[in-house]
Amino acid sequence: MNDLTLEEFADLLELVRQGDDDATAVLWERYFQPLVRLAGTRLPKNLRRSGDEEDIALSAFHSFIAGVRREKFPDLSGPDNLWGLLITLTSRKVNAHLRRQTRQKRGGGQVRGESVFLDASGDSGRAGLEQFAGRGESDNTPPDLRLELAEACERLLDDLPDEQLREIAVMRMDGFLVDEIATKLGVSKRAVERRLQLIRKTWTEAAESEADQT
């Protein structure tokens, strides 16, 4: 990949953005196995099951391709830049995997859904994770459905414009109360409430935009 000029690299990404399978295959052949090895180095042995590295690498690669097609990475300018982005995406996937493993050990695998984002009136604006509320990620959930739910959650988090919003969203889904989030982040309760409102607004607008395109 490093033998490509910056112009050739930009052309390849443009083909990926347009949905070209051959261009996507070029990136797959270059980066998938390194991502598998990277995921393996980030997973503690006691929380690693057979195939976890491949699942995480696959999820990270899919998120990257989806992000390119949605023009989420405007600053992507070259192979070095791309590898750094893939490291970030894979690290997020590893962290999400570890959170799920910890939740399953602590609470039987129950994952809180969009209900944690409801405002005082109970109205979430039909945005975000409401379709997953109460379904959880127990061992009885088919692997393909778990992957689909994880990808949907990742897309929702990617819609949020900054890292603190993503952190608050994840903590809320993990069951943290507003007061607990405020304490952990060192901000006021009101600040957290405003950020939760922004999360709801962002997801509502994303859902409406997607509905308009269908």
Nearest CA to 73 among 4, 15, 158?
A: 158
Q: Which amino acid is at 65?
A: I
Tokens of 12: 């390849």
Decide if 124 contacts 70 (C-beta within 8 A). no
Q: Which amino acid is at 36?
A: V
Nearest CA to 38 among 64, 68, 58, 17?
A: 58
Torsion of CA 89, 48, 167, 88, to 10 degrees: -20
Q: What is the pTM assigned to this prediction?
A: 0.52
Segment 91-116, tens digit of pLDDT: 888 877 777 666 555 554 444 444 44
User: How far is it, in rounded angstroms, from Cα 21 to Cα 173?
Assistant: 35
Segment 48-74, tens digit of pLDDT: 777 788 988 998 898 899 889 888 888
Decide if 66 contacts 155 (C-beta within 8 A). yes
Segment 147-170, tens digit of pLDDT: 556 666 777 777 788 878 888 887
The share of the chain scoring above pLDDT 70, in percent, equals 69
- CATH architecture of the domain covering 1-107: Orthogonal Bundle (1.10)
Q: Is the pLDDT of residue 134 over 90?
A: no
What's the confidence (pLDDT) of residue 166?
A: 83
The full set of domain ranges for the chain reads 1-107, 108-214
Nearest CA to 59 among 100, 113, 23?
A: 100
What's the confidence (pLDDT) of residue 112?
A: 45
- CB count in 10 Å sphere of residue 186: 7
Tokens of 13: 């990404």
What's the confidence (pLDDT) of residue 105?
A: 56
